[in-house]
Amino acid sequence: MKSVTILGSTGSIGVSTLDVLGRHPEQFHVYALTAHSSVDTMLQQCQQFNPDIAVMLDPVAAEKLQTAILETTVTTRVMSGPEALAYVASSAETDYVVAAIVGAAGLLPTLAAAKSGKRILLANKEALVMSGALFMSEVQQNNATLLPVDSEHNAIWQCMPVGDEQRHQFDGKGVRKIILTASGGPFRDADITTLDNVTPEQAVAHPNWSMGQKISVDSATMMNKGLEVIEAHWLFGLSSQQIEVVLHRQSIVHSMVDYNDGSVLAQMGNPDMRTPIANTLAWPQRIDSGVAPLDLVAAGRLDFATADFEKFPCLRLAYQALDAGGTSTAILNAANEVAVDAFLQRQIKFTDIAKLIEKVLHDLPANEASSLEQILADDAAARVLASELVA
Ligand code: NAD
Ligand code: MG
């Protein structure tokens, strides 16, 4: 029996994770669930899974949850605040930590899980984008196990050579490059001249995946793929030149590994996050995820095309930040979070997102990403500058 903490249990990944856990009550115990402030969803999750602890980041939401729980038979203890997130991520009572908080807010609790040697099921790519070198060294030093939930990285993980001690360094192991597939988002067929006027509603309507708002906008700008390039760099120890992005509109091939001998290994499946979640929960075993079997004949065709850096400048900016190194990727991530938020609030245009990030990257000098303090300082500075530009 493995004990599981889900950071961000009320979100899209969190809900999918509970769906998989609910299919295997004999294998997994839910130790802790956490959320920002969605009391109703959390209460319903507590009634279904009766976790030991429920954390609401927001203290008012925590009080509401506590009151509601007292009227039920649920025995869950309610906690609140950022320290409580780190506590449930590092507690000796938990084996696995699912990192499914969105954005920079996920960094500290996920880092706490790494420091206490947990199996980390990583969905929160922003944590690696912000602090890749530091994060990977904490994972290594503390014997944590880092498994990628992000579907592309999970696909690559499944196609990588096995049997290595250093599982996160694949350079020099016969891997020529990896190919990340991208659906292209809702605007993949749109003319570049129409992108100025797209609305938040259009941007979050993803053709293949159902996801949280922030990552849906990131998919529309293709910043999501850019963040994934950076994530892949840290997870697999490959240079930016070894990480390629290819458009694949059906989202069936989740990514590929291209070997020196000409072999290209791909992982396929229906676009449903329960597959990579089940894979990381059960690894190295396999369990049922509830995902329908892939019907390739029904799918009919698999298309591949070049990703357009002019139409999707965020992808170019992410490669540039990765090559610039240091805190550049933390600055990129912070500016993107502010810009996406401003776009969702209708304060800036869709096409302003990339412009704003480029300006912040240009104006703010990056530093060496050698300490958490430096990373958080540059993250904060990028947010201030980005917010000024929005205003
Ligand atoms: P979501 O918005 O649906 O859920 C986010 C969760 O985090 C919620 O439980 C919310 O309560 C919690 N949260 C939000 N802000 C918080 C804060 N400041 N402090 C503490 N908790 C907070 O997001 P999602 O789509 O589930 O994505 C979660 C992460 O997984 C993101 O990093 C995303 O990039 C990554 N991811 C998601 C998908 C997907 O299919 N949804 C796929 C790959 C990777
Ligand atoms: Mg992905």
Residue whose CA lies nearest to ligand 1 atom number 2: 212
Segment 241-265, tens digit of pLDDT: 999 999 999 999 999 999 999 999 9
The reply, when asked if residue 269 is annotated as ligand binding, is no
Q: Tell me the CA–centroid distance for residue 264 and ligand 1, in Å.
A: 32
The reply, when asked if residue 12 is annotated as ligand binding, is yes
Q: Is 69 in the pocket of ligand 1 (CB under 6 A)?
A: no
- Asked if 199 and 244 count as a contact pair (C-beta separation under 8 A), the reply is no
Q: Is 30 in the pocket of ligand 1 (CB under 6 A)?
A: no
Least confident of 74-83, 165-174, 284-293, 361-370: 165-174
Query: Could you tell me the residue ranges of all domains in the chain?
Result: 2-148, 150-306, 325-390
- CA distances to 21, 279, 282 from 288, in Å: 10, 9, 9
Q: Is 35 in the pocket of ligand 1 (CB under 6 A)?
A: yes
Which has the closest alpha carbon to 283: 121, 173, 68? Answer: 121
Mean pLDDT of 107-119: 98
Segment 281-290, tens digit of pLDDT: 999 999 999 9
Rounded CA gap, 234 and 221, in Å? 22
User: Does 228 have pLDDT greater than 70?
Assistant: yes
**CATH number for the segment(s) 325-390:** 1.10.1740.10
Q: Which of ligand 1's atoms lies nearest the C-alpha of 151?
A: 43
Structure tokens at 306: 């070049």
Residue whose CA lies nearest to ligand 1 atom number 21: 36
Q: Is 105 in the pocket of ligand 1 (CB under 6 A)?
A: yes
- Asked if 88 and 55 count as a contact pair (C-beta separation under 8 A), the reply is yes
> What residues contact 378, with CB distance under 8 A and at least 6 apart?
327, 330, 331, 334, 364, 366, 367
- Asked if 94 and 3 count as a contact pair (C-beta separation under 8 A), the reply is yes
Residue 251 is given by DSSP the state -
Pocket mutation for ligand 1, best pick of 33, 102, 272, 344 (most atoms within 8 Å of C-beta):
102
The reply, when asked if residue 371 is annotated as ligand binding, is no
Which has the closest alpha carbon to 155: 232, 211, 209? Answer: 232
Residue whose CA lies nearest to ligand 1 atom number 32: 124
Task: Output the pLDDT for position 67.
Answer: 98
Number of the ligand closest to the Cα of 183: 2
Q: Tell me the CA–centroid distance for residue 61 and ligand 1, in Å.
A: 18
Q: Tell me the CA–centroid distance for residue 5 and ligand 1, in Å.
A: 14
Pocket mutation for ligand 1, best pick of 101, 210, 336 (most atoms within 8 Å of C-beta):
101
For the domain with range 2-148, which CATH number is right: 3.30.70.3340, 3.40.50.720, 3.40.50.1370, 3.40.50.300?
A: 3.40.50.720
Mean pLDDT of 50-75: 98
Mean pLDDT of 130-143: 97
Strands (E), 139-231: 145-148, 175-182
The reply, when asked if residue 80 is annotated as ligand binding, is no
Q: Tell me the CA–centroid distance for residue 204 and ligand 2, in Å.
A: 15
Calculate the CA 287 to chain-centre distance: 22
Mean pLDDT of 171-200: 94
Residue whose CA lies nearest to ligand 1 atom number 27: 102
Give the full edge-to-edge strand order of the sheet including 2-7: 77-80, 53-56, 28-35, 2-7, 96-99, 119-122, 145-148
Confidence label for 169 from pLDDT (cuts 50, 70 and 90): confident
The reply, when asked if residue 152 is annotated as ligand binding, is yes
Structure tokens at 359: 């300006």
Q: Is 11 in the pocket of ligand 1 (CB under 6 A)?
A: yes
User: Does 139 have pLDDT greater than 70?
Assistant: yes
Structure tokens at 250: 């059906």
Task: Output the pLDDT for position 81.
Answer: 97
User: Does 208 have pLDDT greater than 90?
Assistant: no
User: Does 125 have pLDDT greater than 90?
Assistant: yes
Mean pLDDT of 32-43: 98
Beta bridge pairs of residue 122:
99, 148
Segment 312-353, tens digit of pLDDT: 999 999 999 999 999 999 999 999 999 999 999 999 999 999
Rounded CA gap, 135 and 300, in Å? 41
The reply, when asked if residue 11 is annotated as ligand binding, is yes
Task: Output the pLDDT for position 90.
Answer: 98
The reply, when asked if residue 224 is annotated as ligand binding, is yes
Number of the ligand closest to the Cα of 156: 2
User: Does 167 have pLDDT greater than 70?
Assistant: no
Residue whose CA lies nearest to ligand 1 atom number 9: 8
Q: Is 101 in the pocket of ligand 1 (CB under 6 A)?
A: yes
ipTM of the complex: 0.99
What is the CB neighbour count within 10 angstroms for residue 324? 14
